[in-house]
Amino acid sequence: MDVIVVEKLVKRFKDVTAVAGIDFSVRKGEIFALLGPNGAGKTTTIHIIATLLKPTSGRVEVYGYDVVREPDKVRRVIGIVFQDPSLDNQLTAYDNMYVHGRLYGLKGRQLHDRILELLDFVELREYAYKQVKYYSGGMRRRLEIARALLTNPDILILDEPTIGLDPQSRARIWDYIRKLKKDYDMTILLTTHYMDEADELADRIAIMDHGKIVAMGTSSELKNMLGSDVVYLKFDNGVSSEICSYFEAKVCKAIDPKTIELVVENANKILPEVFDKAFRAGLRISEVSYRKPSLNEVFLHLTGRELRDSLESPQPLARWHR
């Protein structure tokens, strides 16, 4: 069952097109990630889904409710954690939750018990009556997630949920997201520019760039767009312009003055042939390594630019000395 349906969505701000006619749907109980750099249109898209912005054109429905014609009904089934901080630093965690609950019509023992239950869930109950200004970044993010869950939403929207957090805090947020899906069968729509986050969490990923969805599928499906393995060859005598002509590969390119990258179906199968061709061509290979393609390489292949500053360093698996 599709609980979010987006069709031909366009959003323009004067002369700028932030979202350029995208289509996707989110199934009940899945974690769906919009992956892309800042400015790709991810936040604009979820703000439209959450009824915070009106689309220029296109159709968006949440549980069958139109986000333009029936915004109140949409808001009853979603919870949202914004990218920018939205807590009152002068209030305690409990009071932040209490004010939010009252705005949604919760009160009395029901509200009190729900606040404590959720603070337990995000491991903040012992800090319930401490002012938020004394919280770490990770604690604040966990509190924002707890607050978004206060009304028992069917869909949780997370905009860059771990941006700026240390590795330990990121790991804890990931654990909460997994637990929400496993224990509550909650549908989660998240935006991120972290490759590992989308890879680790999402059932399906839509890669966005310049307001468009350039590819969509599971992490494995996206990686398989390139091939099975990425091989790195380092040459003692450097890389020449014609070097790729010696090797058969889906993708071949120089990544530094001495190293080329080959995308191939099966590295183990092709490496003996690579060594043989290099030897015949008088090319001296000093180092070879290989690994599976990353989402970053998929993004680079689709858009011509990297999503993050640098690729993960491949681990040398073998050396061939002259």
Q: Please report the pLDDT score of residue 295 as a whole number.
A: 86
- Residue 185 domain flag: yes
pLDDT of residue 81: 96
Average pLDDT value for residue range 248-261: 88
What's the pLDDT band for 9 if we cut at 50, 70, 90? very high
The pTM of the full predicted model, rounded to 2 decimals, is 0.81
Q: Residue 123 falls within a domain, yes or no?
A: yes
Q: What is the pLDDT of residue 307?
A: 61
**CA–CA separation, 284 vs 295, rounded Å?**
31
Do 43 and 110 fall into the same domain? Answer: yes
Kindly state whether residues 59 and 205 are assigned to the same domain.
yes
DSSP output for 190-240: EEES-HHHHHHH-SEEEEEETTEEEEEE-HHHHHTTT-SEEEEEEETT---
In terms of residue numbers, what domain contains 286? 225-303
pLDDT band at 237, cuts 50/70/90?
confident
Domains in the chain, number = 2
Q: Does residue 86 share a domain with residue 73?
A: yes
Residue 76 has pLDDT above 80, yes or no: yes
Judge whether 310 lies within some domain. Answer: no
Q: Which CATH number characterizes residue 168's domain?
A: 3.40.50.300
Gap between the Cα atoms of 307 and 36, Å rounded? 7
Q: Is residue 101 part of a domain?
A: yes
Does any domain span residue 92? yes
User: Do 198 and 291 have their domain in common?
Assistant: no
Supply the CATH number for residue 270's domain.
3.30.70
**Does residue 267 register a pLDDT over 90?**
no
Residue-wise pLDDT for 156-190, tens only, equals 999 999 999 999 999 999 999 999 999 999 999 99
CB 43 within 8 A of CB 193: no
Is 293 within 8 Å of 301 (Cβ atoms)?
A: no
pLDDT at position 320, please? 38
For the chain, the C-alpha Rg in angstroms (whole number) is 24
Q: Is pLDDT at 318 greater than 50 in this prediction?
A: no
Residues 28 and 146 in one domain: yes
Residues 210 and 263 occupy one common structural domain: no
Based on the domain organization, do 116 and 261 belong to the same domain? Answer: no
Residue matched to tokens 């969805």? 213
